[in-house]
Chains A and B, each alone.
Chain A
Amino acid sequence: MYKLNPSPQAKAKLSELINSKYRKGIENKLEALEKDPSNLGKPIDNRPFGDYYINAGNRYAITYIVDENKKRVDILEVPRQEKLHKLLLDYKFPY
């Protein structure tokens, strides 16, 4: 089991989501992060947005770093899912 360590801005966004219709989804994600963060998330590769991300709700993603030594998950940001996907995966320069 891992401890969760949200940044203030991630905490604020998660609070907003958990007090909306996405409550169950966010609860499930946090519980899953606590149990198995590395296998749960998709790797961010070498981009400076964290180590992994998971999709949360329909519109947002959670980016985070896993510290295996301290058994800790640093939750960094809750960016718009489409924006993160564009930055990580979808966008291709034409040259």
Chain B
Amino acid sequence: MEAAILNPDCYSNMPLIPIISFENQWKKISTVEKVMKIITNKKSIASAKNLDKALGHCIDAIYGMGIKHTAQLKKSLKFFYEAKVSIDEFVDYLSGYIMDDELSSELFELLKSHQSKLEYIIDYIELVLLTADAIKKTKKQKKYYTSQELIAELVA
């Protein structure tokens, strides 16, 4: 494991924490980029309120893996969203957070050996964000359908 320090210019509003890369596992998952584009593109997020909800559930998912500092992580994720930092920076940050000293070496080994957990979190975040976006868009619509009307419109 290799430790590094966050760029203070980029993260001036945040406390500096150690960042540790672990074989760039997150970068190997193509979905990460897709999800992070959603997170970093404000236009695709329903609203700040929905973003909070989305991030809250994201934190819940990560918390289920043993992360302790949910409030700080939530704040940090909001920071990334507002600052529109790059995907790589987010990945480095999050992987560093998962490698917090308070987490056991056993969890580190689990993270390394069970890629499915990372995929689970990514799937979770993606569906939460898509749902938040869908809720916003359905609320804006004025036209409601009977099933037959909808079927007629759906059929090419």
Residues of A in contact with B (beta carbons under 8 Å apart) = 1, 3-11, 14-15, 18-19, 23, 26-27, 30-31, 33-34, 47-50, 63, 65, 72, 74-77, 79, 83-84, 86-87, 91, 93-95
**Contact of A49 with B127 in the complex, beta carbons under 8 Å:** yes
Residues of chain A contacted by B133 (CB below 8 angstroms)? 7, 9
Interface of B, secondary structure class, is: helix
Interface extent on B, as a size class? 20 to 34
**Contact of A34 with B146 in the complex, beta carbons under 8 Å:** yes
Residues of chain B contacted by A3 (CB below 8 angstroms)? 144-146
**Contact of A18 with B66 in the complex, beta carbons under 8 Å:** no
Contact segment of B9-17, B33-41, B77-85, B117-125: B117-125
The closest CB in chain B to the CB of A27 belongs to B151
Give bound CA distance, A10 to B138, whole Å.
Answer: 10
Closest CB in chain B relative to A16 CB, distance in Å: 9
Besides A19-B155, A48-B53, 8 other A-B contacts (C-beta < 8 A):
A1-B146, A3-B144, A9-B130, A15-B156, A76-B134, A76-B135, A76-B138, A83-B127
**Contact of A87 with B127 in the complex, beta carbons under 8 Å:** yes
